[in-house]
Amino acid sequence: MIKIYVPRDSSAKAVGAGEVALAIAAEAASQKISVQIIRNSTRGMAWLETFVEVETPRGRVGYGPIEVGDVKRLFAAKFYEGAKHQLGHGLIDELPFLKNQERLTFVRAGITDPVSLVDYIANDGFEGLKKALNMSGAAIVTEVTESGLRGRGGAAFPTGIKWKTVHDTSADQKYVCCNADEGDSGTFADRMVMEGDPFMLIEGMTIAGLAAGATKGFIYIRSEYPDAISTMKEAVNIAVAAKWLGQNIQSTDHSFELEVRRGAGAYICGEETAMLESLEGKRGMVRPKPPIPALEGLFGKPTIINNVLSFAAVPYILARGSTAYKNYGMGRSRGTLPFQLAGNIKQGGLIEKAFGVTLRTLINDFGGGTFTGRKLRAVQVGGPLGSYLPDSQLDLPMDYETFAANAAMVGHGGVVVFDDSVDMAAQARFAMEFCAIESCGKCTPCRIGSTRGAETIDKIVAGENRDANLLLLEDLCQTMTDGSLCAMGGLTPMPVMSAVKHFPEDFDKPARLQAAE
Amino acid sequence: MAKKTTLIDLHFGKSDPATPICARYGNKPDALLEILHDVQHELGHLPETSLPAIAHALNLSRAEVYGVATFYHDFHLKPTGKHSLKLCSAEACQSMGGRQLIAAVEKYLKVKMGETTADGLVTLEATYCLGLCASAPAIMIDNKPVARMNVEKMKSIVEGLRT
């Protein structure tokens, strides 16, 4: 039986993977070729989707991007035997895009069927949890602390310290909450974990539960990710049935329950306290801190809140030890970060690399430059609240501290590339506009400042008292930075001011037009 | 015709379609978002008459339920088109011509973002990231994401909805 893999990830389905799988099945049936079609996770090479793989004695070979119209020709070329074809890419393990990565978290990406427990366990799944089941909570916390893992959602707070706080606080009930409200444009690694390797997230959260003494967990997934929601729900049910979740996990005294909850299209719910409010069935209004959620979180109880990627890094750390993880990275940024290369890029997708890689390496060596072939002008790193960087800053090593020192942030690892057709004043205005749309409204700098900011940028672009309004914008941004309750209003000035600083010519259009006349 | 509800009307029947949905979630107030999603899925929007029924079932005030229903972009208190067309309006899609795509779709459907076509076929909405940023621009049609979008592809999708 020939094994053919067609990804079920939404990045593949959104370009017709479902139809391709059906076409392959139909063609195989009509040619009386016996094939087994496996809907695997994605390798994270978005430009090659739909990426079809065939198992051969030499290893898996890949073909892409495949559309329904290509299927008959693939069969004519005997792709099912791994034969050469113009859309063929040869042995997948030899592809430079994958070979040059350091995939610790995404080690199973593209290899397994996401909802097959057999596949998961055969590929080192639950090795971390098996160890954790025989460890004390304090020992698990120590292992995570020593790995140097920091919050992958963007804030980069040391995960071990957060876990220790919850561990050390006594309460009748504690919770573990996974923030899967991945709303930053340019990011999709959380989605890939949930759609592609859901048991890894379950394993990571269960380990967190054991570490802190929490018996109940929630995964808060944004509604824009319908496939992630259904895959996670399916995986939770499978894990419960196999006793990897629920009462007496693997016949031990440990128990951990997990519930999947849907968001409802509010970006602010990616802020941890707004997410807690939302999980309690309320408006996603940001809570003032203190108290920190580790002391008073969900329903007022001590709560571990981490991003999908933080939890997903934990099984590896427990299975291989903190040193194995810590050995990757630079400075105080330890381990790997799954970077997401997006926007105007020829070869976009997921690139898991140790901290320290440069943007230029990601964009040129992995990404192959802009999609349009035009000159690169700006790169936004870290989502809609991250800075726009000009070409001259692309050689900075990707490290939390280096980026912070350069008025930028690594954030969740999203990298959005823009070519020279971009209007940076429009991008700055959009940052303010987005903040106005998504602000929860609790604090004034964010709620009012964002609208005033958009208006002020309009005036600047129209040439109305430009210098005075630029000063006003700067002042407003300072107020938002200093006075906002959370990162929404507090960081919106980053894209705005970076655009003003690095691309001043775009805020000076009428003058340029006059100069041209 | 739907029963008219006023602020002092406390007699919403047990027959409201939202009531059994609340029961399915054990009438737990923390499940409010899930309940609103399910009610909207069943009825197409959140009818004014259902909000007091939900409040009653969950032991919340009407203000609390209304507050949640109006906070989140996903929920609609008024009927929407037969199909929902969400266009990603965030940065990664902008870098690949997302703004131009939105303008073209608005022109083609003769509506602005947030509006429903005159024939009630499609409601056009902005969404901020579908996680398909490496295959931009992306859209979502009735919960189905579609990537590498262009105007021609979009027109054929809309025409497909008419049949």
- Burial grade of B115 (CB within 10 A; 0-12, 13-18, 19 or more): middle
Counted domains in chain B: 2
Q: Report the pLDDT value the prediction gives residue B6, as an integer from 0 to 100.
A: 55
pLDDT digits (tens, 9 = 90+) for A246-296: 999 999 999 999 999 999 999 999 999 999 999 999 999 999 999 999 999
Distances (CA, A) of A314 to A150, A151, A252, A331, B46: 11, 11, 20, 20, 41
Report d(CA A113, CA A238) in Å as an integer.
13
Residue B7 maps to which CATH number? 1.10.10.1590
Report d(CA A431, CA A491) in Å as an integer.
10
The whole-angstrom distance between B136's CA and the closest CA on chain A is 6
Q: Report the pLDDT value the prediction gives residue A484, as an integer from 0 to 100.
A: 97
Residue B120 maps to which CATH number? 3.40.30.10
Residues 6+ apart with CB under 8 A from A346: A47, A367, A368, A369, A370, A371, A373
pLDDT digits (tens, 9 = 90+) for B32-88: 999 999 999 999 999 999 999 999 999 999 999 999 999 999 999 999 999 999 999
Whether residue A492 lies inside any domain: the answer is: yes
- Chain A residues near residue B127 by CB distance under 8 angstroms: 224, 265
A288 shares a domain with A275: yes
A138 shares a domain with A65: no
Element (H, E) at A490: helix A487-491
Which tokens sit at A391?
């070409």
Q: Which of A326, A349, A372 is the last residue of a domain?
A: A326
Q: Which chain A residue has its CA at the smallest distance from B90's CA?
A: A185
A338 shares a domain with A280: no
E runs forming strands in A298-441 = 303-307, 329-330, 333-334, 336-343, 349-354, 376-381, 388-390, 414-419
- Could you give the 3-state DSSP secondary structure of residue A9? coil
B20 shares a domain with B66: yes
Report d(CA A308, CA B96) in Å as an integer.
27
The whole-angstrom distance between A176's CA and the closest CA on chain B is 16
Using pLDDT thresholds of 50, 70 and 90, give the confidence band for residue B12: low
A342 near B CB under 8 A: yes
Interface contact flag, A46 B134, Cβ < 8 Å: yes
Which tokens sit at B87?
């266009």
A209 shares a domain with A337: no
Report d(CA A337, CA A357) in Å as an integer.
10
Residue A33 maps to which CATH number? 3.40.30.10
**In chain B, positions 42-61, which contact chain A (CB-CB < 8 Å)?**
58
What domain range includes position B88?
83-162
pTM above 0.80, yes or no: yes
Residue A473 maps to which CATH number? 1.20.1440.230
Q: Which chain B residue has its CA at the smallest distance from A439's CA?
A: B71
Interface contact flag, A224 B94, Cβ < 8 Å: no
Report d(CA B122, CA B113) in Å as an integer.
11
Q: Report the pLDDT value the prediction gives residue B163, as an integer from 0 to 100.
A: 78
A212 shares a domain with A67: no
The whole-angstrom distance between B72's CA and the closest CA on chain A is 6
What domain range includes position A453?
424-516
Q: Report the pLDDT value the prediction gives residue B9, as an integer from 0 to 100.
A: 53
A357 shares a domain with A242: no
Q: Which of B79, B112, B147 is the last residue of a domain?
A: B79
pLDDT digits (tens, 9 = 90+) for B133-149: 999 999 999 999 999 99
Which tokens sit at B143?
């919960």
B90 shares a domain with B57: no
- The closest CB to that of A185, out of B91, B135, B148, belongs to B91
Round to the nearest angstrom and report the end-to-end CA distance of chain B. Answer: 29
Interface contact flag, A348 B75, Cβ < 8 Å: no
**ipTM for the predicted complex:** 0.95
B145 shares a domain with B75: no
Counted domains in chain A: 4
A273 shares a domain with A159: yes
Interface contact flag, A264 B36, Cβ < 8 Å: yes
Residue A392 maps to which CATH number? 3.10.20.600
B113 near A CB under 8 A: no
Q: Report the pLDDT value the prediction gives residue A509, as an integer from 0 to 100.
A: 75
Name residues of chain A where pLDDT drops below 50.
Answer: none
Report d(CA A389, CA A411) in Å as an integer.
14
B145 shares a domain with B92: yes
Average pLDDT in the B82-99 region? 97
Q: What are phi and psi of A352, to 5 degrees?
A: -90, 115
